[in-house]
Structure 1
């Protein structure tokens, strides 16, 4: 067990009486329609000096709002993601044509001493099949901390939008067989309420996912890249839902 983890657990013990700290690679806990993940998918990019723990701060039997925190320290190359502690929503895959709205609210804080690279981001995925491999990823970055920056094939933002009173700029890139869109807030945003569907509908038609693509995953969390000292993120309020239509009326032809 990494040395910093014991200190991290002790620091948050008084605020997390609802569940134990999760420090394992794929540790998770279900809370109503949500699942909280520690998710250390990129930890092999760390030289072995770091680690990450995540804990639930809201009652496990109250799914109306979920609150959680993450503490971490990572070494290695600063632009390699080490983990994505996040909350995922439970819902049945649905064609984009049949998605009416994806309303969400999040409030969070981020604390760190120095040399931190991270983001705070929603992460949505689509596929041509309900259980197929991801083909499109739509990210909404509320914060780009340190040197964190999204994939950008063009090397610049290609579009702008305002959602929930916050200005975002769009970057577009390719990750293997997946097309990645990243809407990045023009300033650090710690409180956000808006409709995530607006980000999908605003994508350039020529490269956007088609209306028959299935929305299969909706997550929110922090991508943790690097921290020379302990860093912590705490979400005090989080809600999201996928509202569907009886018949498709999406912005594209089906």
Structure 2
């Protein structure tokens, strides 16, 4: 056994200190690794400044109608309008459109987007949003959806689809009201007009909607059914934010998500329904937490429909567990039903049926609207 020397004893405190320092450095490295993936908020005050969030969406300041300062704070899930100086007359255009988008806006395309995409090749475009509102401002909270005959990435598109989820103050959409319509599980006041070069179709909620999940294609198909777009056109961007006329500081998009699911053949793969339209019968049976639905689709036109696709939105809380005589995807929310090889085509005046079983929570209800290959159907 070797006895310790004074030199050994002198090194022991130094060794202990080095060991402690190494442990502290290890803890700091772990903390840095843990927090390194978090995205710091980004403040944007430049007139048309923008940044990306989640690696797939663009947040833009988009101040185009005023010279007063406006700033947005981009978060990992959305943004907040922190400064919104100035005001403009409420009988004219708003002062800006701070927003977050998937797609292309004046050559600024969100990372990894598959937009522009031909409408006939899109099976669904699920999106969701959660808003934060204020009371001391005049504004709308709205989606801005653009479609065009070409895969346009710059400038104004031929048709603008707006979804007003909140309206505060004496403001109104472009054009004039043309009635009420049920789309995406809700009833809207529909406005139609022209913005000096592009058509505008606006769906206005009768009361504030602070959060909403829906399929963008429900509104695109409604626009097609009204002659404002065609299946051969392109969806170029899906935007959500605010149009302020007066003030607006504190308005926020708390959460935003958007996806575009592609389907169909190389040239669209589907034949639009002829002018005769379509009829849908939706017969259900339900019990405590489950239900079945038998759906009949009739081609009311004078020519055949190839590769039919029936789009509708299941009410909240419903989920499909089993399907027969067709396919339905996804299993909840905005869904698209398609035929099998033996019933994928519908002759003029012909009908086909499919069905599914599912579960539900809360009250039971039926989908409010259906569209066949982009054209709204009559529900019998």
Q: What SS does the corresponding residue of 1:231 show, helix, strand or coil?
A: coil
Cα pair 2:88 2:95 within 8 Å, conserved: no
After superposition, the CA RMSD in angstroms is 2.1
Structure number with the bigger relative contact order (C-alpha 8 A, sep ≥ 6) is 1
**What residue in structure 2 maps to residue 96 of structure 1?**
119
Residues 1:18 and 2:18 aligned together:
no
Larger radius of gyration: 2
Per the alignment, residue 5 of structure 1 pairs with: none
Q: Are the counterparts in 2 of residues 161 and 169 from structure 1 also a CA contact under 8 Å?
A: no
1:74 has 2:86 as partner: yes
Q: Secondary structure at the match of 2:47?
A: coil
Distance 2:60 2:224 in 1: 32
> For each residue in 1:223-244, what CA deviation from the matched residue of structure 2 results, as whole angstroms up to 9, or x when unmatched?
11113xx632112211111111
Indicate the larger mover: 87-96 or 211-220: 87-96
Q: Which residue number in structure 2 is paired with residue 63 of structure 1?
A: none
For normalisation by structure 2, the TM-score amounts to: 0.54
Q: Does the C-alpha gap of structure 1 residues 20 and 171 become closer, same or farther in structure 2, counting only changes over 3 Å?
A: same
1:131 corresponds to: 152
User: Is residue 240 from structure 1 mapped to residue 258 from structure 2 by the alignment?
Assistant: yes
**Partner Cα distance (2:70, 2:226) in 1:** 39
Unaligned runs of 5+ in 1: 1-16, 45-49, 59-65
Q: What is the 5 A alignment of 1:142-221?
A: 142-152=165-175, 155-164=176-185, 166-203=186-223, 205-221=225-241
Question: Do 2:59 and 2:78's aligned partners in 1 also have CA atoms closer than 8 Å?
Answer: no
Measured in 1, the distance between the counterparts of 2:242 and 2:226 equals 30
User: How much has 1:131 moved relative to structure 2?
Assistant: 2.4
How many residues align? The count is 218
Following TM superposition, where does structure 1 have runs of at least 4 consecutive aligned residues deviating by more than 3 angstroms? none
What is the match of residue 56 of structure 1? 74
C-alpha deviation, 1:206, in angstroms: 4.6
Aligned to 1:225: 245
Q: Distance in 1 between matches of 2:143 and 2:124?
A: 15
Inter-CA distance 123–57: structure 2 relative to 1 (3 Å threshold) = same
Which runs of 5 or more residues in structure 2 are unaligned? 1-38, 103-109, 271-372, 376-380
